[in-house]
Amino acid sequence: MHSAGSLPRMEVFDQLAEKYQGEHSHNPFQSALVERIAALLPGGTSVLDLGCGTGVPTAKVLTESDHRVVGVDVSEGMLRLAREQVPAAEFVHADFSALADDFGRFEAVTAFFSLLMLSKADIERTLDKAYGWLQPGGYLAIGMVNFDGDSLPFEFLGVPVTVSGYLQPDLAAVLEAHGFTVDSIETVSFTPADGPEESQIFALARKPA
């Protein structure tokens, strides 16, 4: 299979916006973790959603729980849906891995299946940036696919991309190596509406107060 080098991530997700939402916006494990964050944070606090996609469920749940959400995505196709579906959030068209170190200060940062598209080196750089964006005591929530690999070719909804991943103990170790305290981490099985069963990891970590 040829790699995604010839097809920028932006174009991949512009093509897939509506199909992605149909298959991946109803993950009960992701929704449960977002609800947990919404309950942990005082009302009115700010959350940064990296690779926000179509805004569902993360930005939608959080804005409906009285939180201020800034969603960042490289795909205008995704953001067009997000702005329609979650008008209360602010959406920024950018590659989140290239955001400035001083992009902002937030009480939580979320990244559900968006870090997958980066190399492990870029994932670790993004974790360092997220640590800097978080207020002391702030939360980091991550969803990843449970496998070990660095920029491996993969076909996602019929489009070639490259993906990276960790096994659960390795993801926990990486989070701790970048300064986070892991509050919870679990591996679950999720079956998208039109896809094979997938092993996924959901982690909630904290920047020490």
Residues of the chain where predicted confidence (pLDDT) is lower than 50: 1-7, 17, 23
Q: State the virtual CA torsion across 22, 140, 168, 19 in degrees, nearest 10.
A: 10
Q: How far is CA 110 from each of CA 28, 92, 105, 152, 196, rounded to the nearest angstrom?
A: 16, 15, 13, 23, 25
**What pLDDT is recorded for position 6?**
35
The pLDDT, as a whole number, for residue 1 is: 32
Q: Which domain holds residue 176?
A: 4-206
Q: Whose structure tokens read 């974790």?
A: 127
Q: CATH number of the domain at 157, please.
A: 3.40.50.150
Q: How many domains does the chain have?
A: 1
Q: What is the mean pLDDT of the chain?
A: 88
- The DSSP letter of residue 42 is P
> Which is nearest to 74 in space by CA: 146, 172, 7?
7
> Residue 187 phi/psi, 5° resolution?
-105, 130
Q: Pairing mode, if any, of strands 106-112 and 134-145?
A: parallel
Please tell me whether residue 142 adopts helix, strand or coil conformation: strand
